[in-house]
Amino acid sequence: MADFLMVPDLGSDGLGEVLRLSADVKAEPTRYAGRLAGKRVGLFFEKPSTRTRASCEVGTVDLGAHPVVMKQDEVGLGKRETVEDVARTLDRYLDILALRVFDHQNLVGIAANAEAPVINLLSDVSHPCQALADLQTIAEHRPLEGTTVTYVGDGNNVCHSLMLAGAMSGMHVRVAAPQGYEPAADITEQATALAGSSGGSIVITNDAIEGVGGTDVVYTDVWASMGQEAEADARKALFAPFQVTEGLFSKAAADAIFLHCLPAHRDEEVVHEVIEHERSFVFDQAENRMHAFKGLLLYLAGSLA
């Protein structure tokens, strides 16, 4: 059965189908109510969460499945018990395993030892469920193919998944990051290859104005992610030229939209006026985390007996 650790795991057709299901379940939720009755979805959180926890638990319940929520202090993944043993045990109880972890390799280990589909709810490498919601939100405003999206800031897990998802969808993805904080070279290489097949493109720049100029979507994230708190002060000085101000946002297309995966540090990576702008859709984006997760569950459950 298919796992969803990175966006390309779906393939282009699978990504399109998940996005179609996500939009359909948002438009007609009652049509899908109870569709996964009798299924059991494990939701494991090594890292705390607001949107992921609420969207996944509510989405699971809406589809009629039963969520089993577990935290690291209960499971002790890789500490109290090996990754392999946790995977082989949970696989006996659950139909789908979804995990939010620090170390991506723990997800790889879970997937290698479980027959149930494994979903990455966030790792240090990738945040693919966020990318599904990102594309769903963008698609509510314009066709994905040919759209230019500019990610401004740290080339982190969110950036990685946006690059891959955008490249698979025929989008032109630009990343404007400080020198030394660009996305990982292997992700950039993979996204560039995917873009070559879809008609999209990948551009990496160290100039925020160059990156944002004429773009259709401006996207940013916090400068220091969870677990990087010790670097926060040092990063502020380096990232200051990449703050999404009203001036920087004005360099984008006249109808450009603003996105942020949240939580936001207002007046740090983005000023209050931009996050509250009439063309800011960050809370639609947050809502779509739930619809996108439903779409993903429906897609993966199609392979279950």
Residues carrying an active site annotation: 100, 127, 130, 221, 261, 289
How many separate helices (H) and strands (E) can be counted in the chain?
14, 9
Tell which residue, 36, 136, 46, has the closest CA to residue 98. 46
Asked if residue 226 lies in contact with residue 261, where contact means CB atoms within 8 angstroms, the answer is no
CA–CA distance, 14 with 6 (Å, rounded to integer)? 12
Tell which residue, 141, 136, 242, 131, has the closest CA to residue 191. 131
Three-state SS for 38? coil
Name the strand (E) or helix (H) holding 90.
helix 83-93
Write the CB contacts of 106 (distance below 8 Å, at least 6 apart in sequence). Answer: 46, 77, 78, 83, 99, 123
In the chain, beta strands by DSSP E: 40-45, 66-71, 96-100, 118-122, 148-152, 172-176, 201-205, 217-220, 257-260
CA–CA distance, 59 with 56 (Å, rounded to integer)? 5
